[in-house]
Amino acid sequence: MKYDVVIIGSGLGGLECAHILSRQGRSVLVLERGGQPGGCMQSYPRRSVTAPHGTKPVWYDTGLHYIGGLAEGQALHDCFKQLNLLKLPWQRLDADGFNHIRIEDRDFRIAEGFDNFIDTLARDFPNERKGLETYVEALKASLNVTDLESAISQIDDGAWPFLNRTFHDPLLIDVLSATAQNMELRKQSLPLFVFTHANASYIQSSWRLKGDGNMLVHSLINDIRHYGGEVICHADVEELIERDGQLVAARCTNGEIYEGNYFISNAHPIITCNLLRNSKLIRPFYRKRVTTAENTNGILTVSLRLKPSTLRYFNYNQFVYKQRDVWEPVQVRDNGTLSIKGLMINCRAPETGEWTEVIDLLTTMPWQCCEPWSETEVGHRGEDYLKMKEQLADKCIAMAEELLPGLRNMVAECYVSTPLTYRDYTLTPEGSAFGIRKDYHYPLLCMIPTYTSISNLLQTGQNLIMHGVEGVTKTAFRTCDLLVKKEELSSQNH
């Protein structure tokens, strides 16, 4: 069978493209190398070692913790409506403080709604109201951009310089930046547009699922199959076959060949280039640009299953920093160990009742900390790696206890993921959490376009325009729009 569209990778962007195109009536195939679809949206199961035989496993999230802008008229609403994702059990976080922040010994809240956001912070920083109003105008402007790709390619201002021009109090800059587990804070490169756009939708409204991230993945896949599409796991694509200037098929390591009229790669651009190793249409300059592009840091995730009825659910995220200057949240010592300065605490919304079962502790983890094990695979990294994860988990739990006293005694089981884990499961180079690093000094060099020099190959995912659920989702819609235009042009030419 020859498909209208073959999609490489079942991350969020790949599944969203498959949903959009199959709903429009195209025959769509998604090929996933792993045993479970979803990429960083998937959850993984662990059966409790203390639970009776036959007890259901607990599911832990990898990349989906909370999202913004789901209410009507907001950033993600219309996209999620088309993707049939608004039906999921979304829990709206507290309007008076969806993010709670502790820096040193002071507590702050980030409130929902732009006016409420200004008023709440102005109570702590009364002399900064004018700066907060200027900042909110920048947030609103980023939300009003309809062409994200053009906006990213034209960025010429950095987040760090803008914040220092706008505010006088360094502590307020720390507060506004403290929730940056949804991006990489880097003074010398982070574009202002990325910073404002990544934060704006959360201030519109913030939400988390009552359950695990697989609910979102399964919803998309069920719809894709309902519309006649296919999703195949254990389908590891090793080459995209080119003939007469176009792609004709994807060949998997098991020998299966899948033909298509159009192809969409949801893989990292480096991986896409490797699949096109025999292509003469991919220019050497592009290959070099993709290969040498810097990737953002990865994330250390400590997932904790709690003993029954030990921690009441809290309807907000918590962030704790030992010291000021949250733009330097981690420090790698000379011996390669990680000094943790900042932490996000995410509480899983229980499907029923008031007690939570799972919380996640997240912090930035540079690849440098993982390099001693860079040639290893999951499950075969040795005792030193296990000891390193245990020590980092202990540090994270100790820091979290500043906000959740007695947390250590509540823990029944602990699982730790590092950038190595993400690299091995998603093939993301260096386990990058937010894709290729954007740099406001060189916006065009950091831009990976949706289209390619092969006319029937498009790309999607977080490495292109914007990372995060909103960025990936809007990129997926753009990818599909370009494909439809290419189809129309091809039809006119014939």
- Mean pLDDT on 23-36: 96
Integer Cα distance of 440 and 191 in angstroms: 5
Greater confidence, 494 or 76?
A: 76
β-strands 99-103, 106-110: how paired? antiparallel
Crossing angle of helices 159-166/129-143, nearest 10°?
Answer: 150
Query: Is pLDDT at 59 greater than 80 in this prediction?
Result: yes
- What is the pTM for the complete model shown? 0.94
Closest CA to 90 of 197, 219, 182: 219
416-427 per-position pLDDT tens digit: 999 999 999 888
pLDDT digits (tens, 9 = 90+) for 234-277: 999 999 999 988 999 999 999 999 999 999 999 999 999 999 98
Contact 357, 413 (CB under 8 A): no
**What residues contact residue 434 under an 8 Å CB cut-off, 6+ apart?**
183, 184, 296, 462, 467, 468
Residue 336 has pLDDT above 80, yes or no: no
**pLDDT reported for residue 47:** 77
Q: Average model confidence (pLDDT) for the chain?
A: 91
Taking the C-alpha atoms of residue 224 and residue 28, their distance in angstroms, rounded to an integer, is 8
Residue 292 has what pLDDT? 87
- Tell me what pLDDT residue 145 has: 79
Of the candidates 167, 197, 164, the residue with the CA atom closest to the CA atom of residue 183: 197
Residue 199, Cβ density class (10 Å: 0-12 exposed, 13-18 middle, ≥19 buried): buried
* Confidence band for 467, pLDDT divided at 50, 70 and 90: confident
Token couple for 10 = 């079942």
Q: What is the structure's pLDDT at 360? A: 97
What Å distances lie between residue 344 and 71, 107, 158, CA to CA? 24, 14, 24
Which letter, b or e, does each residue of 294-313 get, where b requires 16 or more Cβ atoms within 10 Å of its Cβ?
A: ebbbbbbbbbbbbeeeebee
CB atoms within 10 A of CB 315: 15
Q: How far apart are CA 346 and CA 91, in angstroms?
A: 13
Coil, strand, or helix at residue 9?
Answer: coil
- What does residue 323 show for φ and ψ, rounded to 5 degrees? -150, 175
User: What domains are defined for the chain?
Assistant: 2-49+212-293+448-493 (3.50.50.60), 94-204+294-431 (3.90.660)
- Average pLDDT of the residues in 171-194: 91
Range with the poorest average pLDDT among 40-44, 88-92, 114-118, 382-386:
40-44
**pLDDT tens-digit readout, 122-146:** 999 999 999 999 999 999 998 887 7
